[in-house]
Amino acid sequence: MARPRIFLSHSSQCTPESGCDCRAYLQALHAHLEDLGCQPVVDSGILNGGDPWYGKVLTELKNCHGMIILLSPHALDSYYVMVEAIVADAERAATDDAFVVLPVTLPGVRRRQLPDSGLGKLNLGRLDMVDWRKQYGPGRPPAKIARTLRPLIERQGSLPYPEVTDFLVGRISDLSDSALEDTAEILGVATFAYARGHSRYAVAQGLLVERPVENVGDSCVMRKAVKHLLPKVRSRDHRQEIVDLVVPFARVPKKAADQLRLVGEGAGDRVALLGSTRKETADMYVRRASENPDSWLVGKPAPRHDAVDFVEGVIAEVRACVLDAIGFGMDHDDDTLRRLLARHEAESGPFTIVLYQPPDTDLLDRLLAAFPRLLFVFAHQQAATARQRKGSVRLAGLTPGQEQDMVITHWEFRKLAAAGE
């Protein structure tokens, strides 16, 4: 997973030749950030001889997740440190504090000096600050640095589903601080008072945790949390999206999602068997396996069982389903259809066909011959015990009670989302 990139703003005038030992603090901080799981960024690592400082450094700063300003005696009157700090503070304001700005005073600098320095107009004193005292030396970075960066490290470097988490954070962004804290308490996740943007990420992570129940009707903190927060989300579309994400992540086994994703990304036959009694179950398995704000595209052909050649009827229905979804209803030859499917998969994941029937050897052989790049999910009660084709996967299933509870919860929450407050 990606590590959060932290820009280290410092004065290049702090050199041993100038009688300043601030370079040792810069190097110590660089090593400390790496130990924390961050990727430190300094100007010397991105500038080459003759590079324009302004464009190169500020572009790099925009690609970072935070900045630590090392306030040495030289930095107090540094034009470059001032400009970097201005850009960082603007980024902090624009991201609702998601971009972290942490001023750190080094030995030889006191906070009372800031108002009368070259950085005075930035009013850095309004930000949370850290004092790196001389008695600690470069070898002992203040613990507050790690505490301050911890929410960012969790959010950026340790999220199991970063894109889904970010999406969910956006959908709960209008919740009040009290609603977020109450939801976090229900979910049993920790928040940090000094990091305003962190609570949303903590709640989003808590909502995406797998929370299986033993049987239909069992109590669950996910249900309590969603019932608490959902009416407080203003947008009806956002409420629906929250439900469609949270329920599959909480109820579909992670093992099954990993299995389905593995077969969907494989180069061989793509066949998954899902023992289920409810048609909604396959949708939620695919939604969970997608691990993306946008689910894989799902087609559900409805072949006629009274047709003269049932298998040919299924193939025709599958083809019509694909053409309608990615061919926009136009007729295409087989080569064109394969190219369209390959492009769709590269951009959006495997096109998934759900068939609500037990797998049949002849049907499978002919489907895979006609559509080698489709992912077929056979969702049927008999699929749990049907004979497996070589290369197919039997997905980790739910008990009847667990499946019923998942579907009931989804229905109930969709109704609640549609009603709003």
Sheet containing 271-274: order of strands: 298-299, 352-355, 375-379, 271-274, 393-394
Q: How far apart are CA 8 and CA 22, in angstroms?
A: 13
- Per residue in 322-354, pLDDT (tens digit) is 999 998 878 888 899 889 999 999 999 999 999
How high is the pLDDT of residue 238?
95
Percent of the chain with pLDDT over 90: 51
Q: To 5 degrees, how large is the angle CA 139–CA 143–CA 144?
A: 130
- Per residue in 169-195, pLDDT (tens digit) is 899 988 888 898 899 899 987 665 544
How high is the pLDDT of residue 198?
66
5-157: what fold? Rossmann fold (3.40.50)
Residue 326, classed as helix, strand or coil, is helix
What is the rounded average pLDDT for all residues in the chain?
87
Residue pair 282/377 in contact (Cβ under 8 Å)? The answer is: yes
Bridge partners of 20? none
Bridge partners of 104? 70, 130
- Per residue in 24-62, pLDDT (tens digit) is 999 999 999 988 878 899 876 444 444 455 566 777 787
How high is the pLDDT of residue 226?
96
Q: Which amino acid is at 243?
A: V
CATH 3.30.720 fits 255-397, yes or no: no
- Spatial neighbors of 186 by CB under 8 A, at least 6 apart, are 221, 224, 225, 228
Residue pair 201/160 in contact (Cβ under 8 Å)? The answer is: no
Q: Nearest-CA neighbor of 11 among 74, 94, 62?
A: 74
Q: Which residues of 231-244 are buried (b: 16+ CB within 10 A; e: fewer)?
A: ebbeeeebbbbbbb
- Per residue in 121-151, pLDDT (tens digit) is 899 999 999 999 989 899 899 999 988 988 8
Q: How many CB atoms lie within 10 A of CB 77?
A: 13
Domain boundaries in the chain? 5-157, 162-251+410-419, 255-397
Strand 393-394 to 298-299 pairing:
unpaired
Domains 5-157 and 255-397 share a fold: yes
Residue pair 272/395 in contact (Cβ under 8 Å)? The answer is: yes
DSSP-assigned letters across all residues of 65-105: SEEEEEE-TTGGG-HHHHHHHHHHHHHHHHTTT-SEEEEEE
Of these ranges, 68-82, 83-97, 191-205, the one predicted with the greatest mean pLDDT is 68-82
Q: How many CB atoms lie within 10 A of CB 220?
A: 16
Residue pair 284/295 in contact (Cβ under 8 Å)? The answer is: no
- Per residue in 91-101, pLDDT (tens digit) is 888 888 888 99
Number of H helices, E strands in the chain: 15, 10
Of these ranges, 51-65, 319-333, 355-369, 405-419, the one predicted with the greatest mean pLDDT is 405-419
How high is the pLDDT of residue 93?
87
- Spatial neighbors of 293 by CB under 8 A, at least 6 apart, are 163, 164, 167
How high is the pLDDT of residue 14?
62
Bridge partners of 352? 298, 375
Percent of the chain with pLDDT over 70: 89
Tell me the mean pLDDT in the region 218-234: 95
How high is the pLDDT of residue 45?
47
